[in-house]
């Protein structure tokens, strides 16, 4: 079968037919017809509970979806990945991020983990000090993309585990406002920078790193650089030119993709924030999900279920987006992290054989922590008329507890479960009319107001319930979504591990920068819009 010819298979045709027959099937009817629907369409594993009973699926649909697992040879690709084959075909690289969280990792991984442990202990214990002899109070991670989103998300997620004597900050944006506002309250004498860049040439990262270096040198002198900067990189030569001691370089490898690198030395700021024991628990949670993924059949495999349900919603029901809705303030950065994971991995229109695909791939991933999102965009979810599948994520136990009797967590869970129920059930015109009439409204007033109270419902959603939010369960959660993304990429016939779409804009930016600084751009003539925008914003020496 052609790499991206899955749409020609009998299973795909069956799913297309099932989608056509189920267009008018409402979720409330599925629940009314089966009192045990929740039990039949849910899966519990290692403390996690996935309830997908509010997805618009039946047993027949799930059987057809599970067939895609074998047709696309997902098990074969899993073994290729685990064996270290170069499944990133366009770059000729292996994909081995799972080795980073293996309890018996390769020797080079074990060496870096040991170095990270010793460094964290030195910083936490006060043995690592700044150039003027002060203990470190603040760590600033400078990176972008996978070198920022992953550790930043995880550091916020594990806020309840933070080392109290250390504050960890993240700077990524090329806009000077990001670095300036981060540095403003900090003391250079007690600030440590982690510069995270595989090549140590990334424009955004190195611009911020050079400005941070100037900040340290202006306050403490050139000699202080080696005590206030460490690097996570593969380019030892460039790191040394920057002034960082080679002993303070934490290595990672070409077989670690940026958006999968949180498990590597890119996770150093996370380990500094929560302590190395918690970082090891994070790795253990990821490895536990790996074992589950590689051993469970698709019908009882958490990543497989999420992946196949997403394919059903996108390719057969016509959904274009996925709302990720964590009812946890600590997980507020998770939707942005998953944007990169899913959209950079599978936001592609060409298959592994270089031919255009005949179907849609990654959805637009977006979302916000509940209950904030309820006061922003839930109106559109309920009455906007678009099909928007949702992933609700909730915690059985809170990670923070306040004194007093206010039931914060119970109220949070009530809102989460109520929203998924309302999106599933909806409210008919008759129900709205009866509700208004029972409130004492006149028949005329009911007739005028009732149409505005109608909710179509039938919005598909899954709810993932975590027992708690700690380092282990966060590892499970991130690995779950990684494997989901992998499965979808294999079924869609994609190389999920390159990101050529990121490069083009960077190339053009390098070409345009000299023009903005008053020089001459090389290459083809500019289009009239770009030329006019540059003319309007040309940088003068005074502005630099």
Q: How many CB atoms lie within 10 A of CB 61?
A: 21
The reply to whether 6-87+285-425+461-498 and 102-274 are identical in fold is: yes
Max Cα distance, the chain (Å): 82
Domain extents in the chain: 6-87+285-425+461-498, 102-274, 426-458, 501-537
Q: Which one of the listed residues 214, 241, 375, 396 is annotated catalytic?
A: 375
DSSP 84: T
Kindly report the pTM of this predicted structure.
0.95
For the question of residue 80 being annotated catalytic, the response is no
| CATH T-level fold of 102-274 | Rossmann fold (3.40.50)
Answer yes or no: 431 catalytic.
no
241 is catalytic: no
Give me the tens of pLDDT residue by residue for the chain, a chain 544 residues long. 344 589 999 999 999 999 999 888 999 999 999 999 999 999 999 999 999 999 999 999 999 999 999 999 999 999 999 999 999 999 999 999 999 999 999 999 999 999 999 999 999 999 999 999 999 999 999 999 999 999 999 999 999 999 888 999 999 999 999 999 999 999 999 999 999 999 999 999 999 999 999 999 999 999 999 999 999 999 999 999 999 999 999 999 999 999 999 999 999 999 999 999 999 999 999 999 999 999 999 999 999 999 999 999 999 999 999 999 999 999 999 999 999 999 999 999 999 999 999 999 999 999 999 999 999 999 999 999 999 999 999 999 999 999 887 899 999 999 999 999 999 999 999 999 999 999 999 999 999 999 999 999 999 999 999 999 999 999 999 999 999 999 999 999 999 999 998 888 888 888 898 888 887 666 568 999 999 999 899 755 555 5
CATH number, span 6-87+285-425+461-498:
3.40.50.10490
Q: 401 is written with which tokens?
A: 């507890």
State how far the Cα of 314 lies from the Cα of 320, in Å rounded to an integer: 6
Among the options 344, 348, 482, 483, which is catalytic?
Answer: 344
345 within 8 A of 497, measured Cβ to Cβ: yes
CB 110 within 8 A of CB 101: no
């Amino acid at each position: 079968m052609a790499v991206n010819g899955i749409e020609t298979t009998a299973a795909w045709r069956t799913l297309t037919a099932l989608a056509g027959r189920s267009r008018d099937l409402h979720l409330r009817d599925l629940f009314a017809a089966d009192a045990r629907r929740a039990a039949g369409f849910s899966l519990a594993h290692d403390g996690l509970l996935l309830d997908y009973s509010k997805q618009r699926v039946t047993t027949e649909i799930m059987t057809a979806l599970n067939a895609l697992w074998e047709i696309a040879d997902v098990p074969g690709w899993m073994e290729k990945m685990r064996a270290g084959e170069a499944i990133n075909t366009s770059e000729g690289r292996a994909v081995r991020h799972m080795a980073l969280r293996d309890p018996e990792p390769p020797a080079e991984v074990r060496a870096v983990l040991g170095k990270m442990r010793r460094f964290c202990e030195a910083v936490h214990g006060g043995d690592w000090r700044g150039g003027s002899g002060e203990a470190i109070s603040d760590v600033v991670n400078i990176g972008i993309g996978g070198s920022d989103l992953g550790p930043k998300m995880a550091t916020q997620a594990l806020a309840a585990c933070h080392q109290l004597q250390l504050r960890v900050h993240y700077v990524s944006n090329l806009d000077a406002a990001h670095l300036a506002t981060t540095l403003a309250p900090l003391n250079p004498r007690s600030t440590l920078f982690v510069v995270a860049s595989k090549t140590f040439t990334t424009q955004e990262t190195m611009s911020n790193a050079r400005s941070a270096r100037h900040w340290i040198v202006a306050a403490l002198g050139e000699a202080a650089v080696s005590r206030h900067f460490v690097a996570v990189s593969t380019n030892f030569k460039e790191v040394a030119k920057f002034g960082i001691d080679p002993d303070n370089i934490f290595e990672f490898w070409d077989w670690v993709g940026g958006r999968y690198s949180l498990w590597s030395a890119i996770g150093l700021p996370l380990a500094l924030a929560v302590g190395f024991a918690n970082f090891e628990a994070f790795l253990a949670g990821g490895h536990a999900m790996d074992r589950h993924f590689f051993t469970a059949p698709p019908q009882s495999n958490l990543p497989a279920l999420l992946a196949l349900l997403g394919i059903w919603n996108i390719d057969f029901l016509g959904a274009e987006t996925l709302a990720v809705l964590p009812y946890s303030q600590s997980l507020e950065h998770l939707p942005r992290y998953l944007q990169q994971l899913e959209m950079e991995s599978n936001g592609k229109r060409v298959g592994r054989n270089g031919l255009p695909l005949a179907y849609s791939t990654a959805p637009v991933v977006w979302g916000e922590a509940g209950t904030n999102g309820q006061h922003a965009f839930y109106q559109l979810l309920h009455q906007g008329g678009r099909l928007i599948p949702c992933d609700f994520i909730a915690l059985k136990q809170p990670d923070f507890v306040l004194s007093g009797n206010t039931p914060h967590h119970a109220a949070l869970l009530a809102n989460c479960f109520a929203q998924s129920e309302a999106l599933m059930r909806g409210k008919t015109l008759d129900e709205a009319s009866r509700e208004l009439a029972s409130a004492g409204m006149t028949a005329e007033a009911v007739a005028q107001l009732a149409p505005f109270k109608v909710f179509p419902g039938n919005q598909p959603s899954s709810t993932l319930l975590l027992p708690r939010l700690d380092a282990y369960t966060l590892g499970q959660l991130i690995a779950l979504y990684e494997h989901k993304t992998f499965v979808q990429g294999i079924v869609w016939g994609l190389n999920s591990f390159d990101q050529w779409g990121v490069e083009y804009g960077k190339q053009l930016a390098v070409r345009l920068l000299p023009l903005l600084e008053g020089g001459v751009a090389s290459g083809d003539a500019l289009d009239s819009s770009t030329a006019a925008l540059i003319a309007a914003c040309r940088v003068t020496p005074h502005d630099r």
